[in-house]
Amino acid sequence: MSNEVRDLYREIVIEHSKRPRNFRKLESVPAAEGYNPLCGDRVTVYVDVTGEQLNDIAFEGSGCAVCVGSASMMTEILKGKSREEAAQIFDSFRALVTSGAQVSCPPALGDLVAFAGVRAFPSRIKCALLPWETLWRVISPPHPDPLPSTSSGQALGGEGTHFAPSPSGPSTPSRLRS
């Protein structure tokens, strides 16, 4: 990926984090809250789901640009999709950010390919995946075993520096710059 393209993608992420789409509460629909103690990201994802169809998706919360940008793009790309389609997109996105894997024939990730650079920053992978994992807790049967990382987050809290949408928060991923 050329530097020009990478800069363009970084701009896309930052633009979404400044003006997140579907940043609102949905009333009377299932929701789940996700927390990333490593960064302080906290999101609540609302899903209006009927049968297999994700009619509407929205989120609230605060976090770094990677987290908020990912959540914003997620709501856009998954709205109107079926659970099956959403699962395929999530799989492709997770592969992209964790290993940079280019699936041979992926569902269209659209601007989400902007997150390909995240894999170079392991601490940011959780930021990018948090909104997706939170959404999955809403639309898939609950797992009996809670994630171990969410129960021990108190000791790392108290930063108080994450507010979203923030035009120039301290967590803007300037480290993606190369």
Q: Are 46 and 32 within 8 A, CB to CB?
A: no
State the Cα–Cα distance between residues 25 and 19, nearest whole angstrom.
16
Are 31 and 47 in contact by the 8 Å Cβ rule? The answer is yes
Give the nearest distance from C-beta 141 to Zn ion in angstroms: 27
- State yes or no: residue 13 binds Zn ion (CB under 5 A): no
Q: Are 65 and 169 in contact (CB under 8 A)?
A: yes
Tokens of 63: 């976090």
For Zn ion, the binding residues in 16-45 under the rule CB under 5 A are 39, 41
Question: Please, what is the minimum distance in Å from the beta carbon of residue 166 to Zn ion?
Answer: 12
Of these, 67, 97, 129, 139, which contacts Zn ion (CB under 5 A)?
67
Q: Which is nearer to Zn ion, 47 or 61 (CB)?
A: 61
* Stretch (H or E) spanning 128: helix 122-139
Q: Which is nearer to Zn ion, 54 or 171 (CB)?
A: 171
CB of 48 to Zn ion, least distance (A): 26
Segment 111 to 140, residues that bind Zn ion, using CB under 5 A = 127
Q: Give min distance, CB of 124 to Zn ion, in A.
A: 7
Q: Is 28 helix (H, G, I), strand (E, B) or coil?
A: coil
- CA dist 148 and 38 (Å) reads 13
Residues 6+ apart with CB under 8 A from 149: 37, 38
Assigned token pair, 40: 């302080």
Contact range with Zn ion by CB under 5 A, out of 56-64, 77-85, 94-102, 143-151: 56-64
The answer to whether 60 contacts Zn ion (rule: CB under 5 A) is no
Among 26, 64, 86, 89, binds Zn ion (CB under 5 A): 64
Q: What's the min distance (Å) between Cβ of 70 and Zn ion?
A: 9
- Report the interface residues with Zn ion, using CB under 5 A: 39, 41, 64, 67, 127
